[in-house]
Amino acid sequence: MKKVTTLAALVFANSTFAMNVNTMLLVSDEYGNGVFTVSNEKTIPEFIQTKIIQLKVQDNELVKTPYTEDNFDDWKVTLTHPKMIVEPGREKNVGVRSLCGTKCDFSNDQYFFVSFEPSNYDPEGKIKSEVSNNFGYRPIFVIPANKQKIDFSVIVKDDELVMENKGNTFIKAHIDQCNDKVNSECQLTALSLAGRKQGYKLPKNIDTKNLMVEVVNHDRSYSEKVHLDEGKIMR
């Protein structure tokens, strides 16, 4: 069954999944920490570098701030393994650790891209020279607002699901119209960051008449099913 998922950004794409990350969306625990698991499906070791990019929503745009030595004093999170070697068939956990303590403002979500960029590990030059098919992932890490406010509007317009998130935490919208007769291009999962208004292209087999959208927050403590007609704004 094919579905469309609009979440974090896949940096590179390839039909051979040599390196994998266990999730493209990781929500921290109550202390602002989390763990990604990286695996190597290749027959040779992978050298993997990681980077953190902080995200902020300003005027409906994503402002990206890469973490560097120059802005170290402003870092809110760090990684347990900025660089690592993953042996063939093995996994390695990469922890994301909050540096905030009580000094950060958690009245709104905090968002970060965590980039995993692999290359062949070949210190002795034994691997034959060839075009490398390495690819990377850029999942999103979220420290959720400590007191969540859910406030959104959603509309179907021009074959898009348009969501405006006016709350202080991210929400996910899920549509599922798959059945025994239709089993492809019939699902959508969309992530809406706090403060953003964005349109998501609907798969071709989704009927926009009397559309049912399920909206949830990160831990499903909030869940609502919204029925839509094209052009009609709900909430």
Asked whether the predicted pLDDT for residue 155 surpasses 70, the reply is: yes
Q: What is the pLDDT of residue 104?
A: 83
Please tell me whether residue 37 adopts helix, strand or coil conformation: strand
Q: In which band, very low, low, confident or very high, does the pLDDT at 143 lie, cut at 50, 70 and 90?
A: very high
For the segment 107-112, the average pLDDT, to the nearest whole number, is 96
Name the more confident of 227 and 229: 227
Contacts of 49 (CB under 8 A, 6+ apart): 82, 83, 116, 117, 119
- Residue 59 region by backbone torsions, left for phi larger than 0, else alpha for psi between -120 and 50, else beta: left
Instruction: Tell me the two tokens of residue 201.
Output: 């292209």
Helix (H, G, I), strand (E, B) or coil at 72: helix
Do the Cβ atoms of 168 and 108 come closer than 8 Å? yes
Contact status, residue 33 vs residue 87, Cβ threshold 8 Å: no
What pLDDT digit, counting tens, does each position of 204-225 carry?
999 988 799 999 999 999 999 9
Asked whether residue 32 carries a pLDDT value surpassing 90, the answer given is: yes
pLDDT digits (tens, 9 = 90+) for 84-96: 999 999 999 999 9
Phi/psi of residue 81, nearest 5 degrees: -135, 85
Give the span between the Cα atoms of 177 and 73, in whole angstroms.
48
With 0-12 / 13-18 / 19 or more C-beta atoms within 10 angstroms meaning exposed / middle / buried, residue 93 is exposed
What pLDDT is recorded for position 131? 44
The number of residues in the chain equals 235
- State pTM to two decimals: 0.85
Q: What is the DSSP letter of 136?
A: -
Q: Report the amino acid identity of residue 49.
A: Q
Q: Are 117 and 139 in contact (CB under 8 A)?
A: no
25 contacts 191 by C-beta, under 8 angstroms: yes
